[in-house]
Amino acid sequence: MKDLSSTLNIAIVDDHNLFRKGIIKLINLGNIQNRYNILFEADNGHDLQQKMKQVPFPDIILMDIEMPDMNGFEAVEWLQRTHPSVKVLVISMVESDEAIIRMLRLGVKGYLSKDIEVEDMHRALETIANNGFYYSDTATQVMNHNLNGTMSKNKDTVYLSENEREFIKLVASELTYQQIAEKMSLSPKTIDGYREALFQRLKVKNRVMLALYAVKHGIVQL
């Protein structure tokens, strides 16, 4: 687990210079006390291999998929063999089931679309830095639809996105759904969608049962 007071060294691997600069700007917004340090940028997997000859190594690498010469899949495979302690967060416009599942099986710690917001970026970095996982709602849906029968014998396994976990935590509080929407900076309609989807997936019928699920599965600590 990375100390919350220490600096997170980050590398960005993407063949589009403009996108790399945009990600750096996104990371630096609200970068209190220099929490995030951009260690280096790389154009593709081959460039990453050269940059990884220097020390220190990055704590987290933000990785694109579609790149020339050596793409994201190949780069992640190489990292798993040579630098398994380095965490990878995929940030890509590619959101097909096949791409997401392949990356998950390669051991990446997170998967986000490129249309992310500042809050998504910082939340993802902090969650991953603390030995966690951070997946977009799209990636979570893919896991639920495709991985239960192939990667786990427990068909009752349910994968939750970070937003869904946060919603469940707040459901177990005394906040109203309107207040939860405001706290999460989401619309009441989106919160209603989370509630109904979770009721169905978790097989619960009301808020109390959802709160009990949160306690039972360690999402909320009493």
Q: Which of 26-40, 105-119, 142-156 has the lowest mean pLDDT?
A: 142-156
Tell me the pTM.
Answer: 0.68
pLDDT tens string 73-114? 999 999 999 999 999 999 988 878 788 888 888 889 988 888
What are the extents of the domains in the chain?
8-144, 160-216
**70 or 204: which carries more pLDDT confidence?**
70
The number of beta carbons lying within 10 Å of the beta carbon of residue 103 is 22
Is 159's pLDDT higher than 80? no
Q: Predicted confidence band at 154 (pLDDT cuts at 50, 70, 90)?
A: very low
Q: Give the pLDDT mean for 160-164.
A: 79
Is 148's pLDDT higher than 70? no
Cα four-point dihedral sign 116, 117, 121, 123? negative
Q: What is the CATH number of domain 8-144?
A: 3.40.50.2300
Which of these CATH numbers, 3.40.1130.10, 1.10.10.10, 3.40.50.720, 3.40.50.150, describes 160-216? Answer: 1.10.10.10
- Please enumerate in sequence order all residues whose Cβ is within 8 A of that of 153, keeping only pairs 6 or more positions apart, or say none: none
pLDDT tens string 15-29? 999 999 999 998 988
Q: 1, 4, 10, 3: which is closest to 121 by C-alpha?
A: 10
Give the type of residue at 188.
P
Is 147's pLDDT higher than 70? no
Record the tokens describing residue 29, joined without a space.
């917004």
> Would you call 197 exposed, middle or buried from its count of C-beta atoms within 10 A (0-12, 13-18, 19+)?
middle
Q: Predicted confidence band at 118 (pLDDT cuts at 50, 70, 90)?
A: confident
What is the distance between the alpha carbons of residues 175 and 28, in angstroms, rounded to a whole number? 31
